[in-house]
Structure 1
Amino acid sequence: MSAPAPRPPRTAPLHPGAWWLWALALGTAATRTTNPLLLALLLTTSAYVVVTCRPDTPWARSYSAFLHLALAVLVIRLVFVVALGSPIPGTHVVVALPEVPLPDWAQGVRLGGKVTAEGVLFALYDGLRLATLLVCVGAANALASPSRLLKSLPGALYEAGVAVVVALTYAPHLIADVQRLRAARRLRGRPDRGLRGLLQVALPVLEGALERSVALAASMDARGYGRTADVPAPVRRTTAALTLGGLLGVCAGTYGLLTAAGGTYGLPVLLAGLTAALAGLRLGGRRSPRTRYRPDRWTPRSCLVAASGVAVAALLVLTASADPAALHPTVIPLTAPTLPLGPAAAILLGILPAFLAPARRKEP
């Protein structure tokens, strides 16, 4: 009996929108909890998926920069609570700093004083939540190709999408330039650390950024960027009315869902607003005629990747409504956080892309 044929490798890249939906859903889940154990599990999940699935490209190396940014946010949050105090009252004093007297118009603000364990833990939980959100955005930036994401946008959002993509790719290219120049200076036996090395690296980096900006402007002009087609005036007015009405409907529906009094009309208004906004974008795409070469398609694996992140966010939102104490450990009285098994199992669903996405690869 012959052995079964090996399965073909997973080489087709996933849709970039699937990665952004997955990452933003994990970020949404992070905003629903301050439990450090759950936030650490979210960080571990996103990091494992990034290490397993990110392509071998310069912009994919920006994940470490987002990790450093998240660490800086956490440290700054702790420094503020130590220097300026915390609104959380506490009885367990960690250290008593000299307090600087302030004038009467600065009531409610203090410099120095007693630093309590309750205030430090509250700041740590809150800063860790923001740091996790930043790391999730960094995971999306490292996994999804910006150029492919731009190609997948509707025609009405193409020009705004170009600005967003250029902004998102600025940091990765800047980091890649700094790493390349520092490696070149080390090979030449020149210093690459300290103030002197920073000053000597900064000028070539800025020069390269200027050259890249000029080349980008020339390529956009050669491709007819900003060219619009002539559409009838009634179509333009209908597009503006649908887009503006849809955005107002989304705002009103979201407000209704967040308030107790608007629970009856919130969801219908939100759905109507989304429908009108999508119709406006569809009509607005007529002003930007363009074609897509080999457009990315939503394959079943892409849908599963996006669904895994949405499932994590939905389950944590439901848990936050049903059992908020499990997601928000108390600091008064001072207690150690516990790991709730239900939310932890829900977060582990976010690791599914590591088994569905193709292995590390090179992308243009």
Structure 2
Amino acid sequence: MSDATRTAPNVSAGDGRARARARNLHPLAWWSWAFGLAVLAGSVTNPWLLLMVALVAGIVVTARRTEAPWALGFRFYLWFALVIVVLRVVFRVVLGGAGDTVLLDLPQLRLPEALGGAGLLGPMTLEALLAGLYDGMRLGAIIICIGAANALANPKRLLAALPPALYEIGTAVVVALSVFPQLVESVQRVRRARRLRGDPGRGTGALRRVVVPVLEDALERSMTLAAGMDARGYGRRGHAGVRERAVTGGLLLAALGGLAVGVYAFLDSSAPRLLAWPMIVLALCLAAVGFVAAGRRVERVRYRPDPWLRADVLTAGCGVVVAVLSTRLQSWAPGVVHPALDALPPLAPVGVAVVLLAVLPAFLTPPPQLQGSLR
């Protein structure tokens, strides 16, 4: 027996063990992770931290995304974020801004009094450009976090994992979140078909020949999705009396009011502390009871529900920890979170550590399943 023959079973066994370890994480775990990263991106204006947030999201997506259609559109979110940054800087140049360091003295155009009398262009200052750049990078980082969640979480499994009380709202949200990945898939399929036919695919005419098939494909997908959901009984309700509906509605309204009061007291330092965290906790408890009561009216079953294992808890926990620590960065390093516009933005180890916590799922979670084994 040759050496190649003797080593072949070992290689096959190793591949089998790797396939057995491969598992797709819970979609809510990925959304919790992305939400925590987005909270961090929305609470800072330091460009170094925002670049690190985008880099961490890209590393995790590259390491843990599948070959599914919705996972192939992350680069389009990157381009979208770049466009947002450019537009934000352009708006700062057009609308003007305060600052002492004048880079270019543009002629100022004064609008008529009927339009508010605002001025356009004028002196272009370094402080205004940096403010526009930092704001654009913050919004772009949030978009990248949302794109990472869309690339990592299966929208169909996300719909199945939602609580029964949020099932109808979740159906609309999941369909809305899956529109952009479906458009990306349609664009890629149409462009691939045109290249196979010898079409170079450049210029305005080529864009028009791509847009029409993409819109037609999106319409067909929407009709197919609607027919499939109607055939499977989506949207059907259980029977509930007037008293049950009144109790459920009262609990949810009380939870919404308590949450609004608690958030306002948390943001307003002059408000009594009794109305902050205690009110938020009470509102969350009322909301949980209301969700359980409302979920009894939804008659549906779950086929092969996704379990929460250690990797899922670790991923969701990373997002929660990053979101909580991002609220403390303001008091730990205020000059790092919101740097001044007249100096080079500083970078503190505590800020870097908080961002790097979000990269743990790329190394401490199992690899995703192959396309052939996806549900």
Flag whether TM exceeds 0.5 (same fold): yes
Q: Contact between 1:12 and 1:358, CA under 8 Å: does it hold in 2?
A: yes
SS of corresponding position for 2:105: strand
SS of corresponding position for 1:264: helix
* Match among 273, 283, 301 for residue 291 of structure 1: 301
Task: State the shift of 1:48 in Å.
Answer: 0.3
Q: Contact between 1:35 and 1:329, CA under 8 Å: does it hold in 2?
A: yes
Task: State the shift of 1:337 in Å.
Answer: 1.0
* Match among 338, 343, 350 for residue 342 of structure 1: 350
CA distance in 1, matches of 2:211, 2:101: 46
CA distance in 1, matches of 2:162, 2:309: 17
Structure 1: tracts of 5 or more residues without a match? none
| Equivalence for 2:150 | 141
1:171-190 pair list within 5 angstroms: 171-190=180-199
SS of corresponding position for 1:287: coil
| Equivalence for 1:224 | 233
CA distance in 2, matches of 1:156, 1:311: 27
CA distance in 1, matches of 2:104, 2:32: 44
Q: Contact between 2:335 and 2:346, CA under 8 Å: does it hold in 1?
A: no
| Equivalence for 2:8 | none
The answer to whether the aligner puts 1:101 opposite 2:110 as a matched pair is yes
CA distance in 1, matches of 2:189, 2:53: 32
SS of corresponding position for 2:219: helix
What amino acid maps onto 1:298 in structure 2?
A: W
SS of corresponding position for 1:95: strand
Q: Contact between 2:106 and 2:121, CA under 8 Å: does it hold in 1?
A: yes
Distance change (3 Å), C-alpha of 1:203 and 1:304: same
* Match among 1, 26, 32 for residue 15 of structure 1: 26
The answer to whether the aligner puts 1:351 opposite 2:351 as a matched pair is no
* Match among 264, 271, 290 for residue 280 of structure 1: 290
What are the Cα deviations for residues 270-305 of structure 1, in whole angstroms up to 9, with x where unaligned? 111111111111111111111111101211111111
What amino acid maps onto 2:82 in structure 1?
A: L
CA distance in 2, matches of 1:315, 1:223: 43
Q: Contact between 1:31 and 1:133, CA under 8 Å: does it hold in 2?
A: yes
The answer to whether the aligner puts 1:119 opposite 2:111 as a matched pair is no
| Equivalence for 2:80 | 69
- Count of residue correspondences: 356
Task: State the shift of 1:33 in Å.
Answer: 1.0
CA distance in 2, matches of 1:248, 1:349: 34
| Equivalence for 1:60 | 71
CA distance in 1, matches of 2:134, 2:203: 33
What amino acid maps onto 2:329 in structure 1?
A: T
What amino acid maps onto 1:324 in structure 2?
A: P
The answer to whether the aligner puts 1:314 opposite 2:327 as a matched pair is no
CA distance in 2, matches of 1:128, 1:203: 33
What amino acid maps onto 2:360 in structure 1?
A: L
Task: State the shift of 1:8 in Å.
Answer: 4.7
Task: State the shift of 1:107 in Å.
Answer: 5.4
SS of corresponding position for 2:274: coil
What are the Cα deviations for residues 239-291 of structure 1, in whole angstroms up to 9, with x where unaligned? 11111111111111111111111322211111111111111111111111111
CA distance in 2, matches of 1:102, 1:226: 52
| Equivalence for 2:272 | 262
Regions of 4+ moved over 6 Å:
none
Structure 2: tracts of 5 or more residues without a match? 1-12
| Equivalence for 1:46 | 57
Task: State the shift of 1:167 in Å.
Answer: 0.7
Task: State the shift of 1:53 in Å.
Answer: 0.4
SS of corresponding position for 2:103: strand
What amino acid maps onto 1:52 in structure 2?
A: A
What are the Cα deviations for residues 201-239 of structure 1, in whole angstroms up to 9, with x where unaligned? 222112211211111111111111221111233222111
* Match among 221, 227, 230 for residue 212 of structure 1: 221
Larger deviation: 226-235 or 245-254?
Answer: 226-235
SS of corresponding position for 1:96: strand
Q: Contact between 2:322 and 2:357, CA under 8 Å: does it hold in 1?
A: yes
Larger deviation: 311-320 or 66-75?
Answer: 311-320
Q: Contact between 2:81 and 2:140, CA under 8 Å: does it hold in 1?
A: yes
Task: State the shift of 1:359 in Å.
Answer: 2.2
The answer to whether the aligner puts 1:25 opposite 2:36 as a matched pair is yes
What amino acid maps onto 2:207 in structure 1?
A: L
Task: State the shift of 1:106 in Å.
Answer: 4.9
CA distance in 1, matches of 2:291, 2:166: 8
| Equivalence for 2:9 | none
The answer to whether the aligner puts 1:304 opposite 2:314 as a matched pair is yes
CA distance in 2, matches of 1:315, 1:299: 24
Task: State the shift of 1:109 in Å.
Answer: 2.2
SS of corresponding position for 2:162: coil
SS of corresponding position for 1:225: coil
Q: Contact between 2:110 and 2:118, CA under 8 Å: does it hold in 1?
A: no
TM-score where L is the length of structure 2? 0.91
What are the Cα deviations for residues 45-103 of structure 1, in whole angstroms up to 9, with x where unaligned? 111000110111111112112111111110110001111102xx322111111222333
The answer to whether the aligner puts 1:165 opposite 2:174 as a matched pair is yes
